[in-house]
Amino acid sequence: MSHIVEFSISGLAGRKDVYSQVLDRHVNVFFGLNGSGKTSLLKILHSAMSGESRILRNVPFSSAEVKIYSITYDRILTRTIDKQLAGAEKEAEPESEAGVSDVMSSVQEYFALTTAIREGVPETTRFPQWEEEPTIPDRTAGSLSHRYLPTSRLYLGLRTIESQIISSRLGVLSEEVLDRCFAETLKHLWANYYSDVLTAVREAQEDGLASILKAVLSGRKQPKTSVQEIDLKTAYNRVTRFLARQGSPGILGSLEDFEKHYEENEQLRSVVNDIDEIERRIADATSPRDKLQSLIQEMFTGNKEVRFRDKSIDVITYDDENIGLSTLSSGEKHVLRILIESLLADSNSILIDEPELSMHVDWQKNLIRTMRQLNSEAQFILATHSPEIMADLSDDRIFRL
């Protein structure tokens, strides 16, 4: 896990001076006019964290130094690159506001580059690499955990779709292909996230059942001081949920029956204590999903509901028809992608270019707060044109380019 501490960039977007900033651990917003270097800045930071420099070939800058704190190694790693080495610097295209054709072009270019990197295709011309200090024994310099969402974010991330697009004889991206790419990518991201949730749930159940079985088989009674006092109704509800999750929802009986056994049987109270711990761990593991479900329902309007399943995300109409993710509006798609990526970021940096794309101003005003509600441990680094995105932020979190 890692986050960016500070950076210094020479020649960013044609600047004569050095642009540098010390970043906040949690929220940082870069604000400026078109062509001021916001997108280039995020690309440089993403490149530094990924360790892949080829994505900077057309980015206007001369050199950069990025300091990244690695939680894993408990130290700051300094990564530097000089684009002018070996004649690598070339005239870069100016930044522009993202339009449909620009997004499609960037998607195709991104797919081609990432495929070449994955498959180890050699570069046709030499390009400088990131240098890292200090050197850590038994560690190969490479990607540090983070999330990166460019303006083309709706259509990035799934190799099978990438391959289809790259190999397309038409050489164009149809709306159908883009919609399929979005739906499959989001489904893939959610399945990856929720597999970790299910693992945490399974571990909680296994640990709890082992503790219960040990107590029952040993016949030993726990000291009263080690048994947490749980009121009757809470205990009954906890055990009811636990048994329902195990596939035996009807064996507990009524609250009155349970009350009699609970008051008289000290071993039962000990078992309930273990079950309470299981349910608490499961609630901790699933609470981000529940919070995401609640936030999305508050934001989305119309006769549909987004439901987060174990391995899929469904869009259900008022008559219970699943109409699919591809039917969502552009703004709804962007919100879903950004919020799910926020969950996946853990304690790492997440870099988002123009988060306001296709969003109503009310959504823009609440976006950072919503992301922070889902993940208070991540470092959010945003580049935006929108005053609404940063409306509730203090001045020390906003950097004008």
Q: Are 237 and 356 in a shared domain?
A: no
Q: Are 339 and 360 in a shared domain?
A: no
Does residue 158 form part of some domain?
no
Does residue 218 form part of some domain?
yes
CA 143 to chain centre: 16
Q: Are 55 and 104 in a shared domain?
A: yes
77: left (phi over 0), alpha (psi -120 to 50) or beta: beta
Does residue 155 form part of some domain?
no
Q: Which amino acid, 171? A: G
Q: Which amino acid, 293? A: Q
Q: Are 356 and 331 in a shared domain?
A: no
Does residue 171 form part of some domain?
no
In angstroms, the CA 13 to CA 254 distance is: 70
Whether 51 contacts 142, CB under 8 Å: yes
| Domain endpoint, select from 343, 376, 391 | 343
Q: How many structural domains are present in the chain?
A: 2
- N-term to C-term CA, the chain: 28
**SS3 letters across 282-320:** HHHHHHHHHHHHHHHHHHCCCCEEEEECCCCEEEEECCC
Does residue 233 form part of some domain?
yes
**H helix runs in 81-231, sequence order:** 100-118, 159-166, 175-218
| Domain endpoint, select from 310, 343, 376 | 343
pLDDT at 225: 44
Q: What is the domain extent for residue 76?
A: 2-145+346-400
Q: Are 69 and 134 in a shared domain?
A: yes
CATH code, domain with 62: 3.40.50.300
Q: Which amino acid, 232? A: L
Q: Are 195 and 337 in a shared domain?
A: yes
Does residue 151 form part of some domain?
no
**This prediction's pTM:** 0.82
Say if residue 383 is exposed, middle or buried (CB neighbours under 10 Å; 0-12, 13-18, 19+): buried
Does residue 166 form part of some domain?
no
> How many percent of the chain have pLDDT more than 90?
50
pLDDT at 100: 46
Q: Are 258 and 134 in a shared domain?
A: no
According to DSSP, the β-strands at 398-400 and 27-31 are: parallel
pLDDT at 18: 96
pLDDT at 255: 87
pLDDT at 293: 93
How does pLDDT run along the chain (401 residues), one tens digit per residue? 899 999 999 999 999 999 999 999 999 999 998 889 999 999 999 999 999 999 999 999 999 999 999 988 899 999 999 988 755 444 455 555 554 445 555 555 555 555 555 555 555 457 899 999 987 766 656 789 999 999 988 877 655 555 655 555 555 667 887 888 888 889 999 998 999 999 999 999 888 888 888 877 776 555 554 445 788 888 888 888 888 877 777 787 888 888 888 888 888 888 888 888 898 999 999 999 999 999 999 898 778 899 999 889 999 998 899 999 999 999 999 999 999 999 999 999 999 999 999 999 999 999 999 999 999 999 999 999 999 999 999 999 999 99
- DSSP letter (8 states) at residue 322: B
Model confidence over 199-241: pLDDT tens digits?
Answer: 999 999 888 888 888 877 776 555 554 445 788 888 888 888 8
- Torsion 215-216-221-225 (CA) sign: positive
Q: Are 139 and 245 in a shared domain?
A: no
| Domain endpoint, select from 326, 343, 360 | 343
In angstroms, the CA 107 to CA 22 distance is: 31
Q: Which amino acid, 129? A: Q
Q: Are 335 and 192 in a shared domain?
A: yes
Q: Are 43 and 125 in a shared domain?
A: yes
Read off the tokens for 131.
Answer: 């240098």
Whether 359 contacts 277, CB under 8 Å: no
pLDDT at 49: 95
Q: Are 223 and 311 in a shared domain?
A: yes
Does residue 168 form part of some domain?
no
Q: Are 327 and 373 in a shared domain?
A: no
